[in-house]
Chains A and B, each alone.
Chain A
Amino acid sequence: MGPNLLANYSEAVAFILFVIGFANLLLQKNLIKKIIGLNIMDSGLYLFLAAKGYITGRVAPIVVDGVQSVEAYINPVPSGLVLTGIVVSVSVTAFMLALTVRLYKRYHTLNLDEISMWLNKEGR
């Protein structure tokens, strides 16, 4: 367990980040803090994937100087996945922020519980 954990420290950090973000997304009452949690969670996942794709001592698979051996390059697929994932999380964040702005304009608070209370008071 010990040496493996040390060797894979970036994966461990990634999952700690994931859990921090997940807990924030779930437990925070403030909508902005929720969105920050979402971004931490996604960053953790991308860190995990990027760390998995990287092989120490190798470079990105762009052929320069005619080196075509597989041994020279890292696995490019995870990097592509990270990019796709970043696009997804950016659009989701934008959408969440837009909804937050709407709610803030209507209820002048960012606290989701307070908003629910207002809604119950409105009675519809």
Chain B
Amino acid sequence: MDFVRNLPAISILACMFAAIISSGLPRRAARFLNYVLIAAVGGMSLMCLAYVMNIQGSVVYVMGKFPAPWGNEIRFGVLECLMALFFSVVMFLAVLGGRHKMRDEVAKGKEFLYYVLIDLLFSSLLALVYTNDIFTAYVFVEINTIAAAGLIVIRENGRTIEAGVRYMVMSLMGSGLLLAGIMIMYDVTGHLLMSNIKEAVDQIISSGEYYIPVIVAIALMTTGLCIKSALFPFHSWLPDAYGYSTVSSAAVLSSLVSKGYIFLLIKLFYRVVGFEVISNSHILRIMFVFGLIAMISGSVSAIKQSDIRRMIAFSSVAQIGYIYMGFGMGTEAGMIASIYHIMSHAATKSMLFISAIGLTDVSRGSRDFKDLTGAALRNKVAGVGFLVGSLSMVGIPLFSGFISKLQFMNAAVDLSLQKMLPSLIVLGISTILNAVYFMKTVIRIYTPVTKVEGGMEELTVMEGERIGINGVVHEEDRITFRKQILYGTVIILFILLNIILGVFSNEIITMIRMGLEMFA
């Protein structure tokens, strides 16, 4: 047996052990360990990816000595390895990009806990990606929830603790439903391993007996995961949690945590029940409708915000809606578009959060729009990062957001008329709404502020736009690239990642398609 087969298990265990060790380490050592760990996991995922691309099939790795119907398994194909690799890249950049803010955001003496939580979160994400056992998935969903809530509340103020409580309440309802679904599924099929459940489900579907319990179980699990990944009616915790936690937390939560649950949902669809069963039931239609509503309502709420972080957070609601709309289409093309959008959104949203912090830093820490005028000119790197993120979100060619919109459109055209029209119309409207709030912000941050003679009061260059005394420019606020080499490099890497996703989209989509074939 090749050694590479051990790597997924090793990467999960390494993260857990790193979390345990970090809890006894000083701040710097914990931080170093965290960086090394994420880089190492990225390398291991890359090796696994090369391996499964080479053998053209997925690998089942038995944990412990018990064979298939009883034991615990890890299974990895192209899609899993691709996701693990991508998650580690985004995680690395997100953690690195928020590093300079750590001193202000996390209480002194508690920084090492931050890295413990990141390690734990990463291990649970990897486990969600790799596991082939449905109950293991549940346990790691809970670990993920606790770690994510910890990342929200580690910046201690009233807002974050309240957001953490709201997040926990929502998540616990979600995991309660997930567990109920898993239990009914176990009850009906008698298995916990995904592949074995699928065989049993196929028999049940063909015999017609116990069809309703199976559908109820699927519906419960789907609802649970939808709640946890903040699909539209369940997003009340999201703006506060993303808006007031530390910047790395916001980037990691928006781009990775919800995506872990969504990946588990894809796994449920393909590996546990089979996609035909799902698409013949009505579950996908409900997801489709809620996805569409989320796309509109998230964008509308984002337009109303006057706080840049909360605006980006509401934009996440809309983007999650895109992903669920892709699921709801019920075709393979829709699924591929959704998976590509998971990656595109993860890369873009974390970049937006990281650049937003650079912009607020040069506006005396204020996140309000009227203070952000000209911020991109005071911190050029952050401005470019925000610009690229916005362009990608709106869907300008060359960036990843364009490809995902194109994929969604392509997938929508092949649908029946009653699904095609709403999805095309809502995609169009949502794109316009995206453009409204992102371009509004971009114009705002690129509007120079000039001094008016004799007084503190200042005016923008744009004629007639009066911004009041809030736009005072302090020369010391200006930050050049040299003063923030690490931060600037992270932004540039994010931009590169986005462009790579956009330019090499064909290769990535081929890999996703291959991965989906190996998935079932």
- Residues on A lying within 8 angstroms of B by beta carbon are 18, 21-22, 25-26, 31, 34, 38, 41-42, 45, 48-49, 52, 77-78, 81, 84-85, 88, 91-92, 95-96, 99-100, 102-103, 106-107, 112, 115-116, 118-119, 122, 124
* Given A45-B179, A92-B142, residue A25 in contact with residue B172 (CB < 8 A): yes
* B153 with A91: CB separation less than 8 A: no
Of chain A, the residue at the smallest CB distance from B184 is A48
Q: Does B187 contact A (CB under 8 A)?
A: yes
* A119 with B159: CB separation less than 8 A: yes
Number of A-B contacts (CB under 8 A): 84
Q: Does B21 contact A (CB under 8 A)?
A: no
Q: Which residues of chain B have C-beta atoms less than 8 A from A22's C-beta?
A: 173, 176-177
B323 CB to nearest A CB, Å: 25
Of chain B, the residue at the smallest CB distance from A80 is B135
**Residue from the list A41, A52, A92 in contact with B187, Cβ < 8 A:** A52
CA distance A121 to B158 in the complex (A): 12
* Contacts A/B (CB < 8 Å), 8 sampled: A18-B180, A22-B173, A31-B165, A91-B146, A92-B145, A99-B153, A124-B157, A124-B159
| Binary A-proximity of B145-164 (CB < 8 A = 1, otherwise 0) | 11001100100111101101
* A122 with B161: CB separation less than 8 A: no
* A100 with B146: CB separation less than 8 A: no
B370 CB to nearest A CB, Å: 15
CA distance A2 to B135 in the complex (A): 32
* Given A95-B149, A122-B158, residue A103 in contact with residue B173 (CB < 8 A): no
A8 CB to nearest B CB, Å: 11
Q: Does B192 contact A (CB under 8 A)?
A: yes
CA distance A96 to B172 in the complex (A): 10
**Residue from the list B146, B156, B159, B179 in contact with A95, Cβ < 8 A:** B146
Q: Does B509 contact A (CB under 8 A)?
A: no
Q: Which residues of chain A have C-beta atoms less than 8 A from B186's C-beta?
A: 49, 52, 78, 81
A9 CB to nearest B CB, Å: 16
* A103 with B161: CB separation less than 8 A: yes
* Given A99-B168, A112-B165, residue A49 in contact with residue B183 (CB < 8 A): yes
* A84 with B180: CB separation less than 8 A: no
* Given A84-B139, A100-B165, residue A45 in contact with residue B176 (CB < 8 A): yes
CA distance A22 to B173 in the complex (A): 7
Q: Does B169 contact A (CB under 8 A)?
A: yes
A18 CB to nearest B CB, Å: 6
Of chain B, the residue at the smallest CB distance from A96 is B168
Q: A92-B172, A119-B158 known; 20 other A-B pairs, CB under 8 Å?
A: A18-B180, A22-B177, A25-B172, A25-B173, A25-B176, A31-B165, A41-B176, A48-B180, A77-B192, A81-B135, A96-B165, A96-B168, A99-B164, A99-B165, A103-B162, A106-B158, A107-B158, A112-B165, A112-B166, A124-B159
A112 CB to nearest B CB, Å: 7
CA distance A52 to B217 in the complex (A): 15
Q: Which residues of chain B have C-beta atoms less than 8 A from A112's C-beta?
A: 162, 165-166
Q: Which residues of chain A have C-beta atoms less than 8 A from B168's C-beta?
A: 92, 95-96, 99
CA distance A78 to B192 in the complex (A): 10
* B158 with A118: CB separation less than 8 A: yes
A73 CB to nearest B CB, Å: 15
Q: Which residues of chain B have C-beta atoms less than 8 A from A84's C-beta?
A: 135, 139
Of chain B, the residue at the smallest CB distance from A116 is B162
Of chain A, the residue at the smallest CB distance from B143 is A88
B437 CB to nearest A CB, Å: 22
Q: Which residues of chain A have C-beta atoms less than 8 A from B192's C-beta?
A: 77
* A52 with B183: CB separation less than 8 A: yes
Q: Which residues of chain B have C-beta atoms less than 8 A from A96's C-beta?
A: 165, 168, 172
CA distance A97 to B327 in the complex (A): 37
B196 CB to nearest A CB, Å: 13
Q: Which residues of chain A have C-beta atoms less than 8 A from B166's C-beta?
A: 112
* Ranked 7 nearest A-B pairs via Cβ: A88-B142, A41-B176, A52-B187, A99-B165, A102-B161, A49-B183, A45-B179
